[in-house]
Structure 1
């Protein structure tokens, strides 16, 4: 049985060198490209090694107490993710948190790195500005490995976790309050620019 300790904390505090952020974005873009061609596992991808994407210190006590959870995620999102993780484990499918809560500064750094590397408008398909990012609010999770992301694509809506973007199979948000079904995923994150 999977335990709460399997829930990896989001990156906070110490940041890896700038090139590591660009590498992580490149891995995500390569993973998305691989998924478009029907690949299920890409060696060296963040989904293949969730520890790389989630490396860093646990949230500060202020961040954790702000949401009342160990991860800083919205308590209902954390509860639903843990339930999904247990259900996936029962199906012998690994499901891990690769990214959760981000600060506005971390999100802006991801935007800046994507723009520097890929230019506009391509970068906008993959990353939102801090004021529109559900990660900054503790309302989004990225999951891995690829097998787990596909499992959650299939079972997440029944567990109250919705796939948000068609180009990011790893990104999930809460089923909107009062909704009976997940909204149709957007093609990408360019809607907020």
Structure 2
């Protein structure tokens, strides 16, 4: 099974999924800042889940991990333009002061196969989908290992951590 995980990581590197921007990464095993600056417990859970998923033939690709406050601010400005208002943008992008990505506490996982695998198996690693409208957004909830993931918020505007 470990060989499969290594092959998945190498495949991601070969097809160019690794980033040099520090705001997006490919593999949870990267040393890119987007991975290296994640909370260590989240990074460990993500790596364990990646190895298990690889055993099932699924590659967990990290589209976004840790983000700098400047990057988060840019994403928020872009969302305001795209959605037409700060209120609507807040359903998708938190401020730099409240973003779990800036704190290193969140990852966005790419690919419907990967998110489906995490939806079915993520709780065993403490990895939980947090928002109904963002099936790619996962955070560490250690209690999920024993009790399952907590109820999700409809979107970030319902999350008191993000709206406070």
Q: TM-score range by the shorter chain?
A: 0.7 to 0.9
| TM-fit CA distance, 1:72 | 1.1
Q: Give the TM-score, by structure 1 length.
A: 0.65
Q: Structure 1 132/110 Cα, relative in aligned 2: closer, same or farther at 3 Å?
A: same
Q: Structure 1 190/72 Cα, relative in aligned 2: closer, same or farther at 3 Å?
A: same
Runs of 4+ in structure 1 displaced over 6 angstroms? none
1:12 matched to 2:22? The reply is yes
> Which of 115, 123, 130 lines up with 1:164 in the alignment?
130
RMSD, matched Cα: 2.7
**Which residue number corresponds to residue 91 of structure 2?**
125
> Which of 85, 88, 91 lines up with 2:53 in the alignment?
88
Q: Give the TM-score, by structure 2 length.
A: 0.76
Q: Deviations over 1:134-192 (max 9, x none)?
A: 10011101111111011101111111111110111111001156984322111111233
| Higher RCO structure, 1 or 2 (CA under 8 Å, sep 6+) | 1
| TM-fit CA distance, 1:10 | 7.9
- Aligned residue pairs total 143
**Which residue number corresponds to residue 151 of structure 1?**
117
1:114 matched to 2:117? The reply is no
Q: Structure 1 10/132 Cα, relative in aligned 2: closer, same or farther at 3 Å?
A: farther
Between 1-10 and 76-85, the greater mean CA deviation after superposition: 1-10
Give the SS at the match of 1:126. coil
1:139 matched to 2:99? The reply is no
Q: Structure 1 151/136 Cα, relative in aligned 2: closer, same or farther at 3 Å?
A: same
Q: Structure 1 150/114 Cα, relative in aligned 2: closer, same or farther at 3 Å?
A: same
**Which residue number corresponds to residue 153 of structure 2?**
186
Q: What is the CA–CA distance in structure 1 between the aligned matches of 2:78 and 2:152, rounded to whole Å?
A: 25
| TM-fit CA distance, 1:112 | 0.6
5+ residue gaps, structure 2, are none
Give the SS at the match of 1:148. helix
5+ residue gaps, structure 1, are 14-49, 52-56, 65-69
